[in-house]
Amino acid sequence: MKIIESVTEMQAFAREARREGKSIALVPTMGYLHKGHASLMKEGRKRGDILVASIFVNPTQFGPSEDLDSYPRDLARDTAVATGAGVDVIFAPKAGDMYPRGYQTYVNAEELTLPLCGASRPGHFRGVTTVVTKLFNIIKPTVALFGKKDFQQLAVIRHMVADLNMDIEIVGMPIIREDDGLAMSSRNAYLQPEERKNALCLCRALAAARGLFNGGERSAQTLRERVVRLIGEVPGTSIDYADFRNKDTLDAVETADEDTLLALAVRVGKTRLIDNCILGEEN
């Protein structure tokens, strides 16, 4: 496996792959890899001749008071996970190479970025769409894979790719969970033992809402009350959002149906975790 740090070297590699008629599958990540990332990589392995994983903690998607500096980083560990998942190339650029002095061009999606994480993390999606566009331009993948844990991110990227006529297939992958149901996340590493237990309130609230829905409840307000109560009972938690939305438009819904997204962002101690489900789907 090859590790490429320079943007120009990555571009040259991708150009040569294209010249040889080889397709590239890309898994963009911020590193500190876990089985969720590995599942994207294993699927990517099947979908391209060459599998590239990018590891870049992208400064433009972090707000000024967020965890850019403390975000966990461990390239040696990531190299082992990526090798095991069949990655051919890790692209791990430096921030100064991606955003040199004088950098001033951004990609911005509109409506889909307004609610949920877009509302609680102003500027976040502008950073995501910008860096993903740059990664696409540098690596020239035919297919790129993203997790449904970041449901809104996947929706925004799909929309951007369609709007800007990017000739790239976007694949959404299921949420991978720990045995007890907690969605895998690099930020789980921040959780103290007691917080780790308390963090189960997210997946339990999703399960409770799905249970009520399967029992016939359709009022988003009633479903939401159950979710808010369950999470509120757990010490050290605060809800950033707990929203019922149409899974395609992300518009708020009052009457839930099988396609309704329940999206959660909850702080457990200082750690902000997200999780979601579609009410009519197994998860």
Ligand X SMILES: Nc1ncnc2c1ncn2[C@@H]1O[C@H](COP(=O)(O)OP(=O)(O)OP(=O)(O)O)[C@@H](O)[C@H]1O
Ligand Y SMILES: CC(C)(CO)[C@@H](O)C(=O)[O-]
Q: Report the 10 Å Cβ neighbour count for 259.
A: 14
Q: Looking at beta carbons only, is 59 or 280 nearer to ligand BAL?
A: 59
Known binding residue 149? Answer is yes
Taking CB under 6 A as the criterion, the residue among 113, 133, 152, 153 binding ligand Y is 153
Does 132 help bind ligand Y (rule: CB under 6 A)?
yes
Does 47 help bind ligand X (rule: CB under 6 A)?
no
124: amino acid identity, one letter: H
Q: Looking at beta carbons only, is 237 or 271 nearer to ligand BAL?
A: 271
Residue 131 contact partner, candidates ligand BAL, ligand Y, ligand X, none, CB within 5 to 8 A by sort of partner: ligand Y
Q: Which residue has the tokens 């819904």?
A: 253
Least separation, in Å, of the C-beta of 72 and ligand BAL? 12
Candidates 128-136, 226-234, 247-255, 258-266; binding stretch for ligand Y (CB under 6 A) = 128-136
Candidates 101-109, 125-133, 147-155, 192-200; binding stretch for ligand X (CB under 6 A) = 147-155
Helices (H), 143-280: 151-163, 193-198, 200-214, 220-232
Known binding residue 147? Answer is yes
Give the neighbor-by-neighbor strand order of the sheet with 24-29.
Answer: 2-4, 89-91, 50-55, 24-29, 143-147, 169-173
Report the candidate in 172, 169, 160, 139 with the shortest Cα–Cα distance to residue 56: 139
Does 54 help bind ligand BAL (rule: CB under 6 A)?
no
Does 79 help bind ligand BAL (rule: CB under 6 A)?
no
- Is 159 a residue of the active site? no
Instruction: In whole angstroms, give the CA distance from residue 83 to residue 224.
Output: 42
Q: Looking at beta carbons only, is 79 or 185 nearer to ligand X?
A: 185
- From 10, 28, 37, 201, the catalytic residue: 37
175 neighbors 185 (Cβ within 8 angstroms): no
Query: What are the φ and ψ backbone dihedral angles of 15, each rounded to 5 degrees?
Result: -60, -45
What is the set of active-site residues?
37
Annotation: binding site for (R)-pantoate: 61, 153
